[in-house]
Amino acid sequence: MANLRSRGLPRACCLAALTAFLALLGTPGVHAASECAEELIYESREDIPPRFRWNPADVFEDREAFDDAVAAAEASIPEMGSWKGRLGNRTEDIVSALNASHELGRSVGEIYFFARIQVHVNASDPGAAAMFGVASALLARAEEAVSFVEPEIAALPRARLDALLEEPSMAPYRHVIDNVNRTKAHIRSSEVELVLAGAAELTLGPRDISDHLLNSDIVWPTVAGENGEDVQVTPATYGRISRSLDREFRRAGRAALLRTYEAFGNTLSASLATHVQGQAWISRVRGYNSSLERALDEVNVSARVVRSLVAAVHGNFGAVHNYTALRKRALGVETLYPYDAGVSLVPNGEKRYCFEDAWTMAMTFWREIFGEEYASVAETAFANRWIDVFPNTGKWGGAYAWVAYGNHPYMLLNWGGTFNDVVTLVHEMGHVVHMNLTHTNQPYHYSGTSVFVSEVASVTSENLFIDWAIERSEDPKERAVMLNAAVELAQGTFLNQILFHEFEEAIYDDAENGRALTKETMSAVYLDLITAYNGPDMTYNASDGIYFLRIPHFYLNYYVWVYATSYAAGEAIASRFRSGDQGVVDDFLSMLKLGSSVYPLEAVRVAGVDLLDPFVVGTVMSRFQNLTESLEMALDVASDAESVVTVSAESEGAASRAFPFLLLLALPLVTYL
């Protein structure tokens, strides 16, 4: 490999000796298995060992139990109407109506959750689809039934709302009432709220159409794999294809993916456009100037937080472009294409991690860094089948964690055996622990976590995990792979999410100003953004613009920017851990237990972070630049280590004697940036 280092410590004084030291280091480290009994994709779920499949029976034992729960919820819907028109005077009536609405929400939420997780592991299962249809209709009816509660409370004079905050019987609902008081200008009459609630099922339609088309109706193409075998290119398998060392396989896989999106592009684009137009309509009805204003107001966050994110990235495009240039040099390609963006920069350095080995590694990390309270939740999750590990035909792509109140969280993975999959496991377990601690410590009405806060735990843990793994690895190549993962994490969780936000803001601006949203217009916007973000060393074709259809988060109405704020907050919290701050574990866990009982900015302040401070966001780009420089240095180290065949006794001694100075000089650049 050519020398990639353009700056940093002199090669002679540091890199060669550090290479020798890393090659000889004998302390316990991070290991990856060369062979695993597990498959990377299963045709049938029945072929997957039960311990690697989540157990939906923890929610409802069977279809009969599901139907019984539906019947009970349907019977309670008319009872909700008995409180309508009665919330003007007696405090006890307000409390009783809130209790009844939350119990209905809890029961219906559990029904919807159960049906949804069945669809997500087998989109072609007609029984699961039927349950989901029942659950969706029930959810819409329940939202209609409770739609009068908030408007009737909001219609009370402000003095009465202020007085409610002081009444002892309202103590469990003080934050609820405060939020109603804060947003009452955008809460409509009972009649209008009934219409908005009735439209809820309609607004879910576009996403459901897209999901069914992508996960059950489309017959995805196959391409020749690394060994000449046929490999199906689907949303679930494309991540693994994009990381293959076989460039032709990557090229063919991306081309097949884009051709399929293009073939169904008009339908998928119309689906997304309908979603955006629906959300824009809701924003107008509620009296907001834009859907972004509504999204920010819902979490009580200033627009300047979002603007500072965009400004931080635009002001540091040079650092982003430098990483693209580094990738081009490291891969040794004359022209860098998007299908080169996911492959490891370390030749033959990507090791196969068996899931259970990775799990053992992650458990050690959780116990060492976060303590027993955090680790015990994780341990229970695997032992009790909260996790669905491996991809199968018909399963949703990607990864997530989700929960219905009164149940444990569920985690969906599509395990591919790479270090990035290990990081994803750590990320999603952050959600699981967050949900579990919140639900254990908060009532139903505070059990949800704001999207603004929901990613903080995961980002904190995955940043610290990568540092921890790098520090313990004995293999220079593996360390370089891990550093590359850290750079990609910053790019994927911060930079790409700001790019997605700019795309989302552009298409909402078009919809809110009467301009058409089509496959062509949205593709053009996306292509312009990815070109600007990745710089001149990445070569795009016109067909790359259609990739926006692969991003499901655009159906969540301004969700993507919270990944970026969460990365900034998570990195700030991680810095407290790295500094040895004795109070950080307690502060971190305290934040995870708050749920929505406080506003999001207050929640992250409990963990010691002020996201209104521009410095917090600004330091993220500094970290990205430092990580990129450390990666460049690590690639040189890994390249040199590959060429070292023998080391004389004299050089062994020199390396060992040099270690304390070299460790202080070089390793902090790798581990703690």
- 298 vs 289: CA distance, rounded Å: 14
pLDDT band at 663 (very low <50, low <70, confident <90, very high): very low
Residue 333 banded pLDDT, cuts 50, 70, 90: very high
Kindly give the interhelix angle for 476-490 and 419-441, rounded to the nearest 10 degrees: 50
Task: Report residue 522's pLDDT band, with 50, 70 and 90 as the boundaries.
Answer: very high
How far apart (Å, rounded) are the C-alpha atoms in residues 142 and 516?
34
- What is the reported pLDDT for 640? 67
d(CA 356, CA 413): 14
The domain of 524 spans 1-28+291-346+449-673
Q: In what order do the strands lie in the sheet with 410-412?
A: 387-388, 410-412, 400-402
In a domain? residue 443: no
Return the amino acid letter for 624: F
Residue 23 has pLDDT above 80, yes or no: no
Q: What is the CATH number of the domain that holds 484?
A: 1.10.1370.20
For 544, the token pair is 């790359």
Looking at the structure of the chain, the number of domains it has is 1
- pLDDT band, residue 228 (cuts 50/70/90): very high
What are the backbone angles phi and psi of residue 401, rounded to the nearest 5°?
Answer: -130, 145
Three-state SS across 206-252?
HHHHHHHHHHHHCCCCEEECCCCCEEECCCCCHHHHHCCCCHHHHHH
Of 185-199, 341-355, 419-433, 496-510, which range is least confident? 341-355
Tokens of 412: 């969906």
**C-alpha angle with apex 204: 199 to 208, nearest 5 degrees?**
145
CA distances from 366 to 54, 312, 371, 378, 379 (A): 21, 32, 7, 8, 10
Residue-level pLDDT at 89:
77
pLDDT for position 201:
78
pLDDT band at 638 (very low <50, low <70, confident <90, very high): confident
Quick check: 28 pLDDT over 60?
no
pLDDT score, position 165: 86
Residue 594 domain flag: yes
Residue 8 pLDDT level (bands cut at 50, 70, 90): very low
With 80 as the cut, is the pLDDT of residue 544 above it? yes
| Residues 30-37, mean pLDDT to the nearest whole number | 58
412: phi then psi, degrees, rounded to nearest 5:
-105, 125
Nearest Cα to Cα of residue 308 among 629, 642, 640, 615: 615
Strands 387-388 and 410-412: parallel
Confidence of residue 236 (pLDDT cuts 50, 70, 90): confident
The pLDDT value recorded for residue 642 is: 56
Question: How far is it, in rounded angstroms, from Cα 98 to Cα 109?
Answer: 16
In the predicted structure, residue 74 carries a pLDDT above the cut 50: yes
Q: What is the mean pLDDT of residues 114-121?
A: 95
Asked whether residue 50 is assigned to any structural domain, the reply reads no
Residue 353 forms part of a structural domain? no
pLDDT above 90 as % of the chain: 72
Which residue, among 446, 427, 296, 286, has the nearest Cα to 358 in the 3D structure?
427
Phi, psi (deg, nearest 5) at residue 217:
-85, -40
- Mean pLDDT, the chain, as a whole number? 87
The pLDDT of 33-41, averaged and rounded, is 70
Half-sphere exposure in the Cβ direction for 532 (13 Å, CA) = 17
* Residues 201 and 140 sit within 8 Å (Cβ to Cβ): yes
- Whether 549 maps to a domain, the answer reads yes
Helix spans in 554-613 (H) = 560-578, 584-592, 600-606
Please compute the mean of the pLDDT values over residues 411-435 and round it to a whole number.
95
- CA 217 – CA 271 distance, rounded (Å): 15
Who wins on pLDDT, 568 or 1? Answer: 568
Position 559 confidence tier, pLDDT thresholds 50, 70, 90: confident
Tens of pLDDT, residues 150-180: 999 999 998 998 898 899 999 999 999 999 9
> pLDDT at residue 514 above 50?
yes
Q: Is the pLDDT of residue 350 over 90?
A: no
Lowest mean pLDDT among 187-196, 448-457, 581-590: 448-457
Sign of CA dihedral 138, 410, 119, 557: positive
- Residue 344 is predicted with a pLDDT of 85
pTM equals: 0.79
